[in-house]
Chains A and B, each alone.
Chain A
Amino acid sequence: MKHVTTIIIGAGQAGLAMSKQLTDRSIDHVLLERGAVANSWKTERWNSLRLLTPNWQSRLPGYRYTGNDPDGFMDMKQVVSFLDGYASTIAAPVEHHTKVLSVERRFDSYVIKTTRGIWSCASLVLANGACAVPVIPKCASAMPETIQHVSPLDYKSPDQLPQGGVLVVGASATGVQLAREIHQSSRPVTLSVGEHIRLPRIYRGHDIKWWMDALGLLDMGLDEVEDLSRARKLSSLQLIGSDNGTMLDINHLRSLGVDIAGRLAGINNGKAQFSGSLSNICDLADLKMGRLLDSIDEYATQYMADQQLPPPHRYAPTDFGAPPNLQMALNDGRINTVVWATGFRPDYSWLDLPVLDRKGNLNHTGGIVDAPGLYALGLPFMRTRKSTLIDGVGDDAAYLADHLRAGLHRRAA
Chain B
Amino acid sequence: MTNQTQTETVNNGVNVEALLGAREALEATPAAAQFKWRAECTWKDGTHSQTTINNFFGLGEEQERGRTFTIDADHPEQFAAANLGATPVEIVMSALASCLTGGVASVAQHRGIQLNSVTASVEGDMDLQGILGIDSKVRNGFDAIRVNFQIDADASDADIKALVAQSQKRSAVFDIITNPTNVFVNVN
Contact = CB atoms under 8 A, between A and B. Distances in A.
Interface of A: 262, 265-266, 268, 273, 275-277, 280, 283-284, 287, 290-291, 294, 323, 358
Contact of A287 (B144, B161, B179): B161
B177 A280 contact: no
- For the residues of A in contact with B, the DSSP-based class is mixed
Contacts of A294: 158
Given A280-B168, A284-B169, A275 B179 contact: yes
A366 B158 CA distance: 34
A277 B168 contact: yes
Contacts of B166: 284
B169 A266 contact: no
A265 B158 CA distance: 29
B162 interface: yes
Contacts, number: 38
A323 B166 CA distance: 21
A268 B182 CA distance: 10
Nearest to B27: A229
Nearest to B167: A280
Contacts of B165: 280, 283-284, 287
A268 B169 contact: no
A262 B177 CA distance: 13
B168 A287 contact: no
Contact of A283 (B161, B175, B180): B161
B149 to A, nearest CB: 12
B158 A291 contact: yes
A294 B157 CA distance: 14
Interface string B170-181: 000011011110
Nearest to A280: B168
Interface of B: 30, 144, 158, 161-162, 165-166, 168-169, 174-175, 177-180
A224 to B, nearest CB: 12
Nearest to B3: A226
Contacts of B180: 265-266, 268, 273
A276 B171 CA distance: 13
Contact of B178 (A276, A287, A291, A358): A276
B157 to A, nearest CB: 10
B174 A277 contact: yes
Contacts of A273: 179-180
A21 B185 CA distance: 63
A276 B177 contact: yes
Given A265-B178, A283-B165, 9 more contacts: A262-B178, A266-B179, A275-B179, A277-B178, A277-B179, A284-B166, A287-B162, A290-B158, A294-B158
A280 B161 contact: no
Nearest to B143: A323
A370 to B, nearest CB: 16
Contacts of A290: 158
Contacts of A280: 165, 168-169, 174
Contacts of A323: 144
21 contacts: A262-B178, A265-B178, A265-B179, A265-B180, A275-B178, A276-B179, A277-B174, A277-B175, A277-B178, A277-B179, A280-B165, A280-B168, A280-B174, A284-B166, A287-B161, A287-B162, A287-B165, A290-B158, A294-B158, A323-B144, A358-B30
Contacts of B175: 277
A358 B30 CA distance: 10
Nearest to A277: B178
A311 B31 CA distance: 53
A268 B175 CA distance: 18
Nearest to A226: B3
Nearest to A273: B180
A277 B144 CA distance: 11
Contacts of B161: 283, 287
Nearest to A262: B178
A358 B27 CA distance: 11
Contacts of B162: 287, 291
A287 B158 contact: yes
Contacts of B169: 280, 284
B101 to A, nearest CB: 15
A276 B179 CA distance: 7
A265 B179 CA distance: 6
A291 B162 CA distance: 10
B26 to A, nearest CB: 14
A266 B178 CA distance: 12
Nearest to B174: A277
